Structure 1
Amino acid sequence: MIQTDSDSSKRVAYFYNRFIGKFQYGKEHPMKPKRIIMAHNLIVNYGLFRQMDVYLIREAQLQEIGKFHDPDYIIYLSQFMSQNKINFVKEYCSANNESVIPENLLEEFKLIIKWSQQQKVKTENSEFKVGDSPDNPTFSGLFSYCQLSSGASIDCAHSILTGQADIAINWSGGLHHAKKKEASGFCYINDIVLCILELLRVYVRVLYVDIDCHHGDGVEEAFYLTNRVMTLSFHQYGDDFYPGTGQLNSVGVGVGRYYSVNVPMKPGMSDQPYIEMFKKITSRVMQVYRPDCIVMQCGADSLSLDKLGGFNLSIKGHGACVEYMKSFGIPMILLGGGGYTIQNVSRCWAYETGIALGQQIDQAIPSNDIYYDYYSPDYLLHFPIKQNVENRNKTEDLNKIVATVYDYLSHIENAPGIHFHDVPFSFYPDMDEENEDENKEQMDQKQEVSLNELEQELGISNSSKNEISVQSNSRKIYSKSQQQDL
């Protein structure tokens, strides 16, 4: 059954591109982008997409990514070639005269030679942490994957800033571990930081809330010295759990002191104490900080039965946090994140898409879903959590955490007054010009195939109007106002 709550009037923008789910970190790697496709199929089959404006994700440009990430790191990722391709190019070029080698292969061959000559004791791989461990492998299409994820999160910010949406959703985002010049924890480009930087062009204060089982270290590090962003992370901590940061006394430095809030917990955390503590802390944060916008990372590895996380939350418990943050009635961006039991990740994000729309979904998995068999044996949206799991978080310890956080928050200025000294330039220069620039035309060509595929997937006829959103640069392929035409 789908129940509609009293606040179902929010305008929701949803960003998706089916190509994002076709990248593969590797057969044995726990990160499976396929979960994004699975979540999308549930969103479509539950009919939720009809209540949203649906945008086709575009690729972020290098200049956008460069607002946070190191130029050399971006160049390395953008020019990355898989080892198979390097071997192919080398063999092809050595077997042919340069005059008959296709120009694109010749350029790549020159790049390979250049890298070989420049390699010293410390290779670029080890410097940037890409491909030097099983966590952050190199794979075909790596940079395109990063561009799509980041492009959607940046455009989520624009849909909020321009008043096109009250809530924006990008389940392919939320890659919170990536650092300025290195990959970390399955994350290469930090779409969250890029999203928040764009929001800061207009908003004075942004609140970042992270309910992933792992600490949002990359985002915290990026804003550790500022009071314009408060980072609030609820995560598992201790026993060498990755990434090993996010202790209670990690509160920020300088102007940013007390604007980093960490809520470290032990394994076994269940719904009731988690939600209780979440509401106590976030309500005080909202009261004191009074942000202009909320960016929420909804990592689903805090769910029960996750392959990497140690919490024992249900989908409803996880979703209750999203619902509570929505209740404050300020602009909100929902992003994905971790989650490694993929059928539960897709369930969770479909459920939380419903929450954004003011709908509580409690139906069985639609039998026409192409991933229906993944949800056996019960084929239900809400799966049973583990029983007889020890919650190692004692009530008195949780109360101490809340009291400590309250003490930290008492040191900050209520809704601190910030004067703009430098407003960052837009990521979209010359957007008001009548003629589209070369990058825009290239972006449209890249999206043509995926646009047709997604139209078919959503059941939208070819005659339906497709419009370009001038503000976000993403292609709007379905509008809530079209509902009566379907």
Structure 2
Amino acid sequence: MVITTWEEATLSYDHKTTKEKPFYEDFLSSWKPRVSYHFNEEVSRFHFGVRHPMKPFRLMLTDHLVLGYKLHECMDLYRPRRATREEILEFHDDAYIDFLQRVTPDNVKEFTKVFTKFNIGDDCPIFDGMYDYSSIYTGASLDASRKLINEQSDIAINWSGGLHHAKKFEASGFCYINDIVLGILNLLRYHPRVLYIDIDVHHGDGVQEAFYATDRVMTLSFHKYNGDYFPGTGNVDEIGSGVGKHYSLNVPLRDGIDDDSYIRLFKSIVEPVLTSYQPGAIVLQCGADSLGCDRLGCFNLNTKAHAECVRFVRSFNLPMMVVGGGGYTPRNVSRLWCLETSVCLDVELDSRLPASIPFVKYFAPDYSLFPNLSGKIDNKNSRKYLESVKTQVMEQLRYLNGAPSIQMQEVPPDLMGYDQETDCAMADERSDRTTDERDAEQEAKDGVRRGEQVE
């Protein structure tokens, strides 16, 4: 039986009103963060290969949903430039980046001897525009970090980023350049401490490895672990080394974890971590392969549960960079990241997808923002097991004697992120302006002297 509401029975709207009606409801909460959305549409035009699970066009679908729900009206939009070689070399090795810039599908035979060295293969293939693709998503994360540093944004979103497996000297797990590490390095120029939280189904090994021996970054990763599942790291005994001992936290999970168990565990760990570490900024990696029904994932999470993690971290009102990551069922990835964009904005979306968006048939048969993705895999995470994992993580926090302190230097002037050509042009402009001011000041003094001589 279909029940018609009073509004549907008595009210009708003209075409223009219906077209202009937003697909979201603004909660008008007391704190409205300044949210920025960093997206260069070129990043979705690359192709890893027909059989490869990584599909950059998922970013185009995400952008269509964000625009279809009119979320662009609520935030600042940026089309970031590509990261420069010099910016990328802040973390990555020169020889490795030189290889990425030079190799192409046409000259690939010239480089086969170094494939093993740089971990090139089925997971990380050579494809047209590989370096361009990497520099675009990396440039977006660097731009997002700069907006946080300059206090232009409270939350900066880059769904094309989050490639957390890339290492200093090699590619790994579909990732060639680690935009997260580069973004965090930028944030560390301003913030004494940065907390990295990873909710991808795979362990954030590249980020953990980069900051394993420092206490200025705490890494916290929730992921599937059994010793064999890629990347094979992320057990609770990986706690950091040297100064960074106890600043790497891992939450290894088993197949099929459900919404309630995940949210309960996430909140019970993240809050004491934030209280103990007291970061100046947070980087949240929102890999969508932890959703149920993902092509490579093995959890039972729905979009609302995944987004609840973002909502919880946002509630601490700290500067936050939000990035994408894994996710290999594009229609679910795009729905999730659109929903999490709305969470950052603190607005509620209509469950019906906007009918006007391109590729709307791709979301058949439900055409809903909240598809049912749960219950497809048996949950092997007993309450006893999850409590034991939580206890081990809490035990690590006991070793921390408060938040580590650091002597901060003057923030470098190059954090605006202009390229070299723009920097030179601005320097010339400043020099010309200074010269003009000096000439005007000298002319005024000469005029006074000439007046005195006349008198």
1:274 aligns with 2:296: no
TM-score where L is the length of structure 1: 0.80
Matched, 1:408 2:431: no
Q: Is the contact made by 1:362 and 1:382 (CA closer than 8 Å) also made in structure 2?
A: no
Q: Show the counterpart of 1:344.
A: 332
Q: Which whole-Å deviations, capped at 9, do the CAs of 1:386-442 have from their partners, x for residues lacking one? A: 33642100001111111111110110121111224797784647799572599xxxx
Q: Secondary structure at the match of 1:3?
A: strand
Alignment partner of 1:233 is 2:221 = yes
Query: Which of 117, 120, 126 does residue 127 from structure 1 map onto?
Result: 117
Structure 1 CA distance for aligned equivalents of residues 326 and 307 of structure 2? 15
What residue number does 1:156 align with? 144
Q: Which amino acid aligns with 2:173?
A: G
Match of 2:425 among 427, 435, 447: 435
Q: Does the aligned pair in 2 maintain the 1:205–1:292 contact within 8 Å? A: yes
1:190–1:135: structure 2 CA closer, same or farther, 3 Å change rule?
same
Task: Tell me the C-alpha RMSD between the 2 structures.
Answer: 2.1
SS of the residue corresponding to residue 128 of structure 1 reads coil
Whole-angstrom CA distance in 2 between matches of 1:4 and 1:46: 12
- C-alpha contact (below 8 Å) 1:209/1:233 kept by paired residues: yes
**Is the Cα contact below 8 Å between 2:157 and 2:323 reproduced in 1?**
yes
1:337 counterpart SS class: coil
Question: SS in structure 1 opposite 2:115?
Answer: helix
Map of 1:375 onto structure 2: 363
Q: Is residue 213 from structure 1 mapped to residue 236 from structure 2 by the alignment?
A: no
Percent pairwise identity:
44
**Matches of 1:425 and 1:393, distance apart in 2:** 49
Q: TM-score, normalised by structure 2?
A: 0.85
1 CA distance for matches of 2:360 and 2:211?
41
User: What is the deviation of 1:257?
Assistant: 0.4
Pairs within 5 Å for 1:3-402: 3-5=25-27, 6-7=29-30, 9-83=32-106, 86=107, 116=110, 123-130=113-120, 133-238=121-226, 240-387=228-375, 389-402=377-390
Give the Cα–Cα distance (whole angstroms) in 2 for the partners of residues 312 and 124 of structure 1: 39
Give yes or no for contact 1:7–1:358 (8 Å, CA) kept in 2.
no
CA offsets 1:82-106 (integer angstroms, 9 cap, x no match): 22xx39xxxxxxxxxxxxxxxxxxx
Could you say what secondary structure the match of 2:116 adopts? helix
Structure 1 portions without partners, runs of 5+: 88-111, 439-486
The separation in 2 between residues aligned to 1:425 and 1:400, in whole angstroms, is: 47
On the 8 A contact 2:293/2:376 being kept in 1, the answer is no
Residues 58-84 of structure 1, C-alpha deviations (whole Å, 9 max, x = no match): 10000000000000001111112222x
Letter in 1 for 2:114: E
Aligned length: 403
The residue aligned with 1:443 is none
Q: Which runs of 5+ in 2 are unaligned?
A: 1-22, 429-455
Mapped partners of 2:155, 2:332: distance in 1: 23
The residue type equivalent to 1:2 in the other structure is: Y
AA aligned to 1:168 is A
Judge conservation of contact 1:8–1:357 (CA < 8 Å) in 2.
no
Aligned to 2:10: none
Structure 1 residue 57 displacement after superposition: 2.2
Aligned-partner residue type, residue 149 of structure 1: Y
Contact 2:302 2:374 in 1 (8 A): no
> Is the 2:25–2:348 contact (alpha carbons within 8 Å) kept by the matching residues of 1?
yes
Check the 8 A contact 2:90/2:182 in 1, yes or no. yes
Q: Aligned letter for 1:53?
A: D
The question of whether the paired residues in 2 share the 8 Å contact of 1:217 and 1:246 is answered with: yes
In the superposition, relative to structure 1, how do residues 283 and 76 fare at CA in structure 2: closer, same or farther (>3 Å)? same
Q: Offset at 1:171? A: 0.3
